[in-house]
Amino acid sequence: MKRVYVNEEWCLGCHLCEYNCAFANSGARDMVSALKGKPLVSRIRVEGDGRITYAVSCRHCTDPLCVTCCISGALRREDGVVRIDRGKCVGCLTCVLVCPYGAVAPGPDGAALKCELCLQNSCGAPACAAGCPNRAIVYEEREEERS
């Protein structure tokens, strides 16, 4: 299946992915009205130090700990994609406690927030990858070999 892959080598640390993500999931028609003067709510984040930067979002693990450990059953894996039913989520953040990538975040409404490959918004394909200026984030098929 197509996945989001991160090439650390090419990450510029520009943080555009975070803004593209926040916009894609805002439901707003343009980025300015979606993001101006509002706290950034992103499902991807750039981390690193002065030298190294890379973006991290949900890896859609084959055996996702967040799904196994979810107390409410809000997280589930469907066709290889880890999805969240935010209406079911009670915001206990056990997923935040167990996700080894730090890829699940507490949302502003208390429920957990995570990347669903933009399947749940109007983009249809991950906005982070589409907007990455240096192909540090790509959405593609790769030979799938579990590491």
Partner 1 sequence: MKRYVIIGGGAAGTSCAEAVRRTDPQGEITLVSQERVSGYGRPLISYYLEGKTDIPRMSRVGLGFYERNCITALHGVGAASLDAAAHRVTLEDGRQLPYDALCLCTGSFPFSPRFEGIETVPRRFFFTTLEDALALEQAVTKESRVLIVGAGFIGLKCAEGLRDRAGSITVCDLADRAMSVSLDGQCSVILERHLEKNGIRLMLGNTAARFEGGCAVMQHGERVDFDILVIAIGVRPATSLAAQAGAAIGRGITIDETGKTSLPDVWAAGDCTESTELTTGQTAVMAILPNAAQQGECAGINMAGGSAVFTAGMRMNSIGFFGLHVMSAGTCQGDAAFCEVTETSCRKLYVQEGVLKGYVLIGDVRKAGIYTAMIRDRVPLEGVDLEAVGREPSLLPLGQATRRRKLGGVV
Partner 2 sequence: MSGIQYLFPEYEVVRNDDRCIRCRVCERQCANEVHCYDEGRDKMFSDESKCVNCQRCVSLCPTRALKIVKSDCRLRENANWDSDTIREIYKQAGSGGVLLSSMGNPKPLPVYWDKILINASQVTNPSIDPLREPMETRVFLGKKPEKIVRGEDGRLVTDLPPQLELSLPVMFSAMSYGSISYNAHASLARAAAELGTCYNTGEGGLHEDFYPYGPHTIVQVASGRFGVHEDYLEAGAAIEIKMGQGAKPGIGGHLPGAKVGPDVSRTRMIPEGSDAISPAPHHDIYSIEDLRQLVWSLKEATGHRKPVIVKVAAVHNIAAIASGIARSGADILAIDGFRGGTGAAPTRIRDNVGIPVELALAAVDQRLRDEGIRSQVSLVVGGSIRSSADVVKAVALGADACYIATAAVLALGCHLCRTCQSGKCNWGIATQRPDLVKRLNPDIGSERLINLLTAWKHEIKELMGGMGINSIEALRGNRKMLRGVGLNETELRILGIAHAGE
Q: Which residues bind partner 1 (CB under 8 A)?
A: 3, 5-8, 47-49, 52, 54, 56, 59, 61-62, 65, 68-73, 76, 87-88, 90-102, 104-106, 110, 142, 144-147
By a kind-dependent CB cut-off of 5 to 8 A, residue 122 interacts, out of partner 2, partner 1, none, with none
Min dist. Cβ of residue 55 to partner 2 (A): 14
**What's the CA angle centered on 24, arms 52 and 135, to 5 degrees?**
35
Min dist. Cβ of residue 97 to partner 1 (A): 4
Instruction: Please list the residues that pair with 53 across neighbouring strands.
Output: 48
By a kind-dependent CB cut-off of 5 to 8 A, residue 133 interacts, out of partner 2, partner 1, none, with partner 2
For residue 22, what are the contacts with CB-CB under 8 A and spacing of at least 6? 34, 35, 40, 41, 42
Query: 68 in helix, strand or coil?
Result: helix
Q: For partner 2, give the closer residue by CB, 30 or 109.
A: 30
Q: For partner 2, give the closer residue by CB, 34 or 81.
A: 34
Chain residues in the site for partner 2 (CB under 8 A)? 9-16, 18-20, 23, 30-32, 35-36, 51, 131, 133-136
Compute the half-sphere exposure of residue 144: CA atoms within 13 Å on the CB side of its CA.
Answer: 11
Would you say the C-alpha torsion 111, 98, 77, 24 has a positive or negative sign? positive
Q: For partner 1, give the closer residue by CB, 10 or 31.
A: 10
Q: For partner 2, give the closer residue by CB, 109 or 140.
A: 140
Q: Of 123, 101, 107, whose CA–CA distance to 55 is shortest?
A: 101
